[in-house]
Structure formats: structure tokens, C-alpha cells
Amino acid sequence: MIRYIFTRLATLIPILLGVSILVFSMFHLVPGDVVDIMMGDESAGDPKAAEQLRIRMGLDKPIYVQYWKWLKNAARGDLGRSMTSGNQVIDDIMDRLPVNIELMLIAMGFVIVLGIPLGMLSAYKQFSVTDGVLRVATIMGYAIPNFWLATLVVLVGSLYFEWLPVLYYVPFKENPVENIKCMIIPGFVLGTTTLSYIVRMTRSSVLDSLRQDYVRTARAKGMTERVILYVHVLKNSLIPVVTVLGFQIGVLIGGLVLTEEVFVLPGLGRLILLAIEQRDFMIVTGSILFLSFAFVMINLVVDIIYAFLDPRITY
């Protein structure tokens, strides 16, 4: 197991290197740069001043020179400084990261607490009205884009349910209760797609387990359906579900940008979106590299959980 963990950590290096090259290169293909944003119309009338600013910021050098300098600093844990605010990129990330962690935890809480039980219920009541309603609901939940659902929730809440806590944010340190109230709806919206997928995945996995020989043997021994379902079926059914959960983390990370923008949450997603608008590629590359690292580490944890769920799995 220890050898496997170190091997996975070693593979992290080429993955992050590839992500950094891709993001760094693609961002430079976008017309204009941060100098155009900072100087506005003045750059058209004073090209010499704009060129001096580019030289001072190192934007006059070839892209591979800029990348190599950034990569050497990133290897030391220095993601550079924001080209617009002058702050350290890692400081801006850490300031906004608590919002993302809380939003992800709430979304995953809904996915696990609701998705697995509803999937088991749908499988246990196969072809019933309950099963039909859940299957239709999951199809709708998986098909509806998060940003559209978020916009609909904000619109309906503002017009008809003024008591709904939307479009404001209270830090957890200031008021924990108000913080949870204003984060619960964005968290649910963010997790809707993953929740629907987990319900369907759990249903399929449980149905497959219920047809196995050990279930028939347990019934022949006189075990109750509750014991069979929760003791024998559930643990075996969770292996593919955990696999999907690991990959769905990427879906949640991708949904952070639009969800935070719609609900006006000061998280890392809005920071990336603002940086893209301002051509601040130091913030963009640093943030995406950080999120990529988090995604790979989460998938490593998921792989380790396999050994707990199924002792037959070896590394």
C-alpha cells in the first residue's frame, strides 16, 4: 500500500506539468493581455508606455521563457504575484478556499446522505411507483445544467420566496448559523447533477448485488431483508459508487465557477473568472494547478478506500 501511494504521488508530477503547459499555452492564445486591461484606451494613444509596462511585468519575453521562470518558482511553492492586485497568488487562493471547501462539503453531504439511500430504495422497490418517480427525477436532475438551475432558484427565490437566503454571503467566523443558511442552497444546486448520477449508480449496483448467490443463500438461512440489504448488499454495492464519487469530484470542481458567480459567493471559482476577464494569467494558472492537485489527491484517497470496502483488492 505504501509503495502504491508513493507511486501515485510520483505520477502527480507529469500530470501537473501537463496541466500547467496546457493552461499556460492556451491562455496566451487569447487576444490581448493584462496591460490592455490596466491601461484601457490609454494604451492605444501611448504605445510606448504600454510597452514599458509589459517589459516591467516580463510580458515581452517569449512564452517559453515566461513559463520556465514560473515553473521554477512554482516548484518552490511560489505561484507568483497577481498582475492586477500585486498579492501573492497562493494568499488569494487560501483566502477564498474556505468558501470552496464548505460548498463542496455541503454538496457531497447531499450526494451521500440522499443519493445512496434513495438509490437503495429505488432498487429495493424496482418497477414500483416510487422507483418510477425516482428514475424520472434523476434523469431530470442529470439533464438540467447547474447554472440554469442556480439562475432559476435565484429568480424564483427573489420574486416569490423572499425568505430564501440567496445572493448574500456571511463568513462562518462571523455567524455560523447565517453562514450555513446562505450556503445550503448553493451547495444543493452544485450537487444536483452528481446526486442524480449517484442515485442511478447505487440503484444499478444494488440490483446487481441482489441477484448474487450469497443473497439467495442469506435468504435461505432465514435472514431478514433489512440485514441482507444493509449488512451484505450495501458494502459490496458501494465499490462502484465510490469510484464514481471520486470522478464526480471533478464535476463539482468544474461547477464551482458558475455556481459561485450566480450566487455571488467569494470563492476560488469567482477568483478564476475575474482573473480571466482581467487577463491575469498568474491567478488563472496558479488556481487551476492548485485545483488539479486537489483533484488528483482526492482520487488517491478514493483508491485507498477501496481496500477497506473490498479486502480482496491489493496494490
Q: What are the residue ranges spanned by the domains of the chain?
A: 12-75, 96-309
Q: Is the pLDDT of residue 96 over 80?
A: yes
pLDDT at 163 (0 to 100): 66
- As a whole number of angstroms, the distance between CA 272 and CA 278 comes to 10
Place of cell 464551482: 256
Q: Is the pLDDT of residue 43 over 60?
A: no
What is the pLDDT confidence band of residue 118, given thresholds at 50, 70 and 90? very high
Give the mean model confidence (pLDDT) for residues 107-119. 91
Residue 115's nearest CA partner among 136, 143, 140, 134 is 134
What is the pLDDT confidence band of residue 114, given thresholds at 50, 70 and 90? very high
Give the mean model confidence (pLDDT) for residues 164-182. 81
Mean pLDDT of all residues in the chain?
Answer: 81
Among 22-26, 43-47, 100-104, 123-127, whose mean pLDDT is lowest?
A: 43-47
Percent share of the chain, pLDDT over 90 = 8
Residue with the larger pLDDT of the pair 254 and 189? 189
pLDDT digits (tens, 9 = 90+) for 257-276: 888 888 888 888 888 888 88
pLDDT at 177 (0 to 100): 86
Q: Terminus-to-terminus CA distance in the chain, angstroms?
A: 6
Q: Is the pLDDT of residue 312 over 80?
A: no
Domain 96-309: which topology?
A: MetI-like fold (1.10.3720)
